[in-house]
Amino acid sequence: MKSHKLIRTSFAALVCALLASCATPPATPDKPKLVVLLVVDGLPQRQVLAYRDQLAPDGFARFLDRGAWFADAQYGHAFTVTAAGHATMLTGAYPHRTGIIGNEWRDQATGEPVYNTGDTSATYLGNSTRPLDGTSPRNLKAETVGDVLRRLDARSKVIAISGKDRGAILPAGKTGTAYMYMGQSGQFASTSFYMPAHPTWVTQFNGRKLADTYFKTEWKPVLPEAAYARSVADNQPWYGPRGGKLPMMMGVAADDVPGPAFYSALLASPFADALSLEFARAAIAGEGLGRDDAPDLLAVSLSGHDYVNHRFSAESRLSHDHFLHLDRMLQSFLRDLDATVGKDNYIAVLTADHGFMPAPEFNQARGVESGRISSSQMLTRISAGLVQKFGEGKWLLGASGASLLLDKKLIAARGVSLDAVAEESRRLILLEPSIGTAYTRAELLSNSRAGAPFFEASRKAWHPDVAGEVQFTIKPNFMFGSSTSIATHGSPHPYDTHVPILVYGPKWVRAGRVDTRVEVVDIAPSLSRILGVAAPAMSEGRQLPLP
């Protein structure tokens, strides 16, 4: 009897001990003092691995050899463009929640153009501002990791830097501070949304006029000629009359001094990215990032790769070399972070806002069906079809992001069913040989076509308060034509959705390749967990399976 009592007592003690151990959370490493988000605009994952043997030892290779990297990292929304991607990274939400459905769209009521970060109530500091310039996060409907940090502790600083306004403003969120490169002046500037005047460190940086040091400087290849045998040679016919060949001189116009044309041209070279990283160094020093126990966040979006890939394609020698320049610049920047912030005080995540399709001419040379679409001609045909069905009138206001925007006022005035006009618009756009899928507002709201091709990706790319009545996708290897783009992005196909997610921070992440499919929305909740804060309110991502 005593033995049974002893057994019961011992068992009860064991249960209490187990419950106590379960109630005590496992020990976790200290929070990073600084989170660094590095974005390479327009970098497809295929490029990261294609030139792995040519990487410097401590740039991309630091992530690949000594960090965690995800071999199957994807975007889950269909319209893969810069603003939508940058809005996703730190919100953990796709456009159906962020409201950033594209780089630009049309107002649902008026059909007037809307720019993703446009806000006419704010202006650039020290630089002129045009009506559709990006000046604030007014259109962003979701909070970011940085917003959560600052809500919990106002001492946390959130700084975002980019060659593009949208590449800085959207990662900065509602409460961070964005600085962007000014193509008109070669300076970095914020806007009146964030502050009345620049802090001293920004004024001092701009006073150095670093952009001017690249005037009449050559963009030279990193490696000898033979190293570029696996990429497309320079001066391809499809580059157009401007051509494209390395070495390339910066500022060869008749001007004897740097001007707006030169400053803008730097964006399609390694030099604007070098300026962005140098400005990031100045921000770390000027703002004291990573120096106290309130975690800070620094986002740096390097825009040059996108410009180079649009102009020459990701398969070009120029893109190949630009990637190698980025690699060497990242090596220098990461080593500076080690020295200034401390190698055990920060975690770095590198990703991209979208990938890139090969140029149609490159695909055609390989026997792959590919081509360019005239959006104006396509919209004209759809408009004509609507007139034939419903009578005279401008039923179609135009394309809005990757959707068709209908004139609801006209439809109501004529007593026609909106669903009927949307359904006819869907039928007409699917007659276009380059269009792959199209779904109406009613279908997207009801989820009635769940499981259909690219339906879920289209639903995530569409916001009911922002987008039009019919969301569409294009077929693989087709692109909408542009006077400035040899190649582009914006589709739900793997060349556009498959991007790098690379993580370095040995104190928090073990090294290793992860083959599990992950999505870019997973970055925000994963960083939130490492920081010990709640994920952003609209986040729909999961925890990255970090090694």
| Structure confidence at residue 206 (pLDDT) | 98
Specify the range with the lowest mean pLDDT, choosing from 225-234, 319-328, 476-485. 476-485
What does the pLDDT average to over 124-136?
95
Q: From CA 87, how far away is CA 253, in angstroms rounded? A: 37
Q: Beta strands 188-189 and 177-181: pairing type?
A: antiparallel
Q: How confident is the model at residue 252 (pLDDT cuts 50, 70, 90)?
A: confident
CA terminus-to-terminus distance, the chain? 51
Q: Residue 256 — very low, low, confident or very high, per pLDDT cuts 50/70/90?
A: confident
The mean pLDDT value for 502-507 works out to: 97
Q: What is the pLDDT of residue 241?
A: 84
The model's confidence at residue 6, banded by pLDDT at 50, 70 and 90, is: very low
User: Which helix (H) or strand (E) covers residue 107, if one does?
Assistant: none
Task: Compute φ and ψ for 542, nearest 5 degrees.
Answer: -115, 170
Mean pLDDT (whole number) for 183-188: 97
Confidence of residue 29 (pLDDT cuts 50, 70, 90): low
For residue 423, pLDDT beyond 70:
yes
pLDDT at 10: 38
Residue 254: predicted pLDDT: 65
In this prediction, residues 166-180 reach a mean pLDDT of 98
Strands 478-480 and 68-70: unpaired
Nearest to 164 by CA among 366, 300, 18, 320: 300
Please, what is the average pLDDT of the chain? 93
pTM: predicted TM-score of the whole model, two decimal places: 0.93
**Range in 42-56, 205-219, 244-258 with the lowest mean pLDDT:** 244-258
Quick one: pLDDT at residue 15? Answer: 35
- SS3 state at 20: helix
Q: Chain-centre distance of CA 34, in angstroms? A: 21
Least confident of 98-107, 245-254, 347-356: 245-254
Q: Which of 23-27, 201-205, 370-374, 513-517 has the lowest mean pLDDT?
A: 23-27
Burial of 315 per CB tally in 10 Å (0-12, 13-18, 19+): buried
Fold classification of 34-365+492-531 (topology level): Alkaline Phosphatase, subunit A (3.40.720)
pLDDT computed for residue 434 by the predictor: 96
Are the C-beta atoms of residues 287 and 34 closer than 8 Å to each other? Answer: no
Say what the pLDDT of residue 251 is.
85
Cα radius of gyration rounded to whole Å, the chain: 25
- Classify 371-476 by CATH class: alpha beta
Residue 25 pLDDT level (bands cut at 50, 70, 90): very low
Long-range contacts (CB closer than 8 Å, 24 or more residues apart) made by 45-52: 45/71, 45/73, 45/352, 45/355, 45/498, 45/499, 45/500, 46/314, 46/355, 46/495, 46/498, 47/314, 47/319, 47/320, 47/323, 48/500, 48/502, 50/230, 51/230, 51/320, 51/323, 51/324
Position 23 pLDDT exceeds 90: no
Specify which residues 502 forms β-bridges with.
Answer: 69, 350
Q: What is the pLDDT of residue 8?
A: 36
CA nearest 329: which of 59, 35, 61, 36? 59
- Render pLDDT for 310-361 as a digit per residue (tens, 0 to 9): 999 999 999 999 999 999 999 999 999 999 999 999 999 999 999 999 999 9
Q: Where are the domains of the chain?
A: 34-365+492-531, 371-476
Q: What does the alpha-carbon distance between residue 392 and residue 385 come to, in Å, rounded to a whole number?
A: 10
Q: Which residues contact 524 (CB under 8 A, 6 or more apart)?
A: 89, 90, 91, 92, 93, 144, 145, 535, 536, 539, 541
Rounded distance between C-alpha atoms, residue 525 and residue 537, angstroms: 10
For residue 383, give every residue at least 6 positions away whose Cβ sits within 8 Å of its Cβ, in sequence order, or none. 394, 395, 396
Find where tokens 């909106």 sit.
418
In percent, the amount of the chain with pLDDT more than 70 equals: 94
Please name every residue paired with 105 in a beta bridge, in sequence order, or none if there are none: 114
Provide mean pLDDT across the span 227-247.
93
* Residue percentage of the chain with pLDDT more than 90: 91
Check pLDDT > 70 for residue 26.
no
Angle CA(540)–CA(546)–CA(547) in degrees, nearest 5? 160
Cα 346 from chain centroid? 22
Rounded Cα distance between 94 and 140, Å, is 11
Span 120-146, average pLDDT: 97
Is the C-alpha dihedral spanning 86, 87, 90, 96 positive or negative?
negative
Rounded-to-integer distance, Cα 119 and Cα 520, Å: 27
Q: Do 86 and 39 form a contact (C-beta atoms < 8 A)?
A: yes
Place of tokens 């069913």: 417
Res 154: pLDDT: 96
Of the candidates 276, 270, 343, 264, the one whose C-alpha atom is nearest the C-alpha of residue 58 is 343
Report whether pLDDT(435) > 60. yes
